[in-house]
């Protein structure tokens, strides 16, 4: 089984340009970054003349078309990418990378979350076979963690990263593992302080790598999530000492400075459990409890919070689809994902559902991350 998709011959020549595919890929990317979108499209079109089954390039071409407002043409490219992946998977059904890539296309471009998760699960199974044959394959452990995270199996992903970190590996791999673990802790569990510890270890292991700027950005973001904007700005500045021309670091630093100027501070939510439950999807009960006010902590135990979350995980009722008359709401299976913020008034308590927080429709009632809300006591504001 291959973990990397050897989809194209990077040294194949384009008769029209005398360039290799790898050269055309680089040229197309440079054109895109410089805003020369037509030239970028020309490069990708040339590649597809050489290798029409290159799903990755179909995705890149679709992204440019979508970015320039050609939505229908972009969708055709994304459909073509899925078709290419399916064709290759017929010959190589154990290719985890192809399953992963197909899942990303289905999720990002078609919002088919259930089908995407099926692809991720198949990829996990493929990597599992690899690890049975070679349990010391650090690349496979990293990839498996990434796949599990994409599939929403966060606890299992965390176990993969910890397994990898317990193995002997080079400094770059250790850094990447701590980066992946930190990203998981911050973005999927909301454990920003623990994530920052991981980012520090990632920088200690491999401080000046070509991609280490990503660690500085993620560490700064975690600090911003904790409303520590001055510390975040200092982190971005430290990153810019090593990567002075990095636009990502400069952009995120500007964002932190703006929030600091606006006086953004830690919000003080009202003392209701529903306010907290509405903000977490797949989070650890321990972290949720840490955010409760002192008064609510006295009345709510960790076990009670975990019970609520377990009920959410186990009692979901699948349905084919549900549409809401207001807002940009999409439903796949039993899970709906809000694309915008909507305030819901729940028995006198206002809950704001932010971008990409999932909630579940069950028997004429909503469960927002475990908190049961019936249609009879919900009104949209």
Rounded CA separation 373/348 (Å): 12
Query: 192 with 280, same domain?
Result: no
Flag whether 218 is in a domain. yes
Query: 250 with 186, same domain?
Result: yes
Sign of CA dihedral 42, 47, 49, 54: negative
pLDDT at residue 306, as a whole number = 62
Query: What's the mean per-residue pLDDT of the chain?
Result: 74
Checking if the pLDDT of 288 tops 50, the result is yes
Checking if the pLDDT of 331 tops 60, the result is no
- Give the count of domains, the chain: 2
Residue at a domain's end among 266, 292, 307: 266
Residue at a domain's end among 216, 249, 266: 266
* Segment 75-104, tens digit of pLDDT: 999 999 999 999 999 999 999 999 999 999
pLDDT at residue 365, as a whole number = 46
Query: 182 with 244, same domain?
Result: yes
**Domain carrying residue 252:** 170-266
The encoded tokens of residue 17 equal 């340009």
If you average pLDDT over residues 109-135, what whole number do you get? Answer: 91
Query: 192 with 288, same domain?
Result: no
User: Coil, strand or helix: which one is 226?
Assistant: coil
Higher pLDDT, 320 or 251: 251
Strand partners, 359: 336, 368
The encoded tokens of residue 19 equal 């360039």
pLDDT at residue 300, as a whole number = 64
Query: 279 with 354, same domain?
Result: yes
Query: 262 with 280, same domain?
Result: no
pLDDT band of residue 113 (cuts 50, 70, 90) is: confident
Query: 184 with 232, same domain?
Result: yes
The encoded tokens of residue 296 equal 């609510």
Higher pLDDT, 143 or 374: 143
Placement of tokens 């192809």 in the chain: 98
Query: 358 with 280, same domain?
Result: yes
Checking if the pLDDT of 37 tops 70, the result is yes
Checking if the pLDDT of 329 tops 60, the result is no
Checking if the pLDDT of 34 tops 60, the result is yes
Flag whether 330 is in a domain. yes
The encoded tokens of residue 323 equal 């549409």
Residue at a domain's end among 266, 290, 318: 266
Query: 373 with 295, same domain?
Result: yes
CATH number of the domain to which 206 belongs: 1.25.40.10
Checking if the pLDDT of 362 tops 60, the result is no
Flag whether 301 is in a domain. yes
* Segment 194-232, tens digit of pLDDT: 999 999 999 999 988 888 999 999 999 999 988 899 999
Please give the model's pTM, rounded to 2 decimal places: 0.63
Higher pLDDT, 275 or 153: 153
Higher pLDDT, 1 or 35: 35
Flag whether 192 is in a domain. yes
Flag whether 52 is in a domain. no
pLDDT at residue 309, as a whole number = 55
Checking if the pLDDT of 51 tops 50, the result is yes
Query: 319 with 338, same domain?
Result: yes
């Amino acid at each position: 089984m291959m973990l990397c998709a050897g989809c194209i011959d990077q040294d194949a020549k384009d008769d029209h340009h005398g360039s290799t595919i790898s050269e055309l890929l680089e040229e197309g990317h440079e054109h895109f970054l410089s805003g020369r979108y037509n030239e970028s499209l020309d490069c990708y079109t040339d590649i597809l003349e050489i290798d029409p089954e290159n799903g990755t390039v179909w995705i890149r071409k679709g992204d440019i078309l979508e970015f320039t407002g050609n939505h229908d043409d972009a969708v055709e490219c994304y459909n073509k990418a899925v078709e290419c992946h399916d064709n290759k998977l017929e010959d190589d059904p154990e290719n985890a990378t192809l399953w992963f890539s197909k899942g990303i296309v289905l999720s990002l471009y078609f919002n088919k979350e259930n089908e995407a998760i099926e692809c991720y699960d198949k990829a996990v199974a493929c990597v599992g076979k690899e690890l049975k044959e070679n349990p010391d394959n650090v690349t496979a452990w990293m990839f498996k963690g990434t796949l599990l995270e994409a599939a929403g199996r966060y606890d299992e992903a965390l176990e993969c990263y910890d397994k990898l970190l317990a193995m002997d590996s080079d400094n770059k791999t250790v850094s990447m593992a701590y980066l992946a673990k930190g990203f998981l802790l911050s973005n999927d569990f909301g454990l920003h302080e623990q994530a920052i510890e991981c980012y520090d270890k990632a920088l200690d292991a491999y401080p000046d790598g070509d991609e280490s700027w990503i660690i500085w950005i993620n560490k700064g973001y975690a600090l911003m999530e904790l409303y520590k904007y001055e510390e975040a700005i200092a982190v971005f500045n430290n990153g810019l000492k090593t990567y002075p021309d990095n636009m990502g670091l400069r952009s995120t630093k500007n964002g932190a400075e703006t929030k600091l100027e606006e006086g953004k501070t830690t919000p003080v939510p009202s003392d209701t459990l529903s306010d907290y439950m509405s903000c977490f999807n797949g989070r650890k009960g321990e972290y949720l409890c840490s955010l409760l006010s002192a008064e609510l902590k006295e009345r709510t135990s960790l076990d009670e919070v975990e019970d609520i979350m377990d009920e959410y995980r186990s009692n979901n009722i699948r349905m084919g689809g549900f549409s809401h008359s207001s807002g940009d709401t999409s439903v796949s299976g039993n899970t709906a994902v809000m694309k915008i913020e909507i305030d819901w008034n729940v028995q006198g308590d206002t809950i704001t559902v932010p971008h990409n927080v999932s909630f579940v429709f069950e028997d004429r009632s909503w469960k927002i991350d475990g908190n049961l809300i019936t249609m009879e006591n919900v009104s949209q504001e």
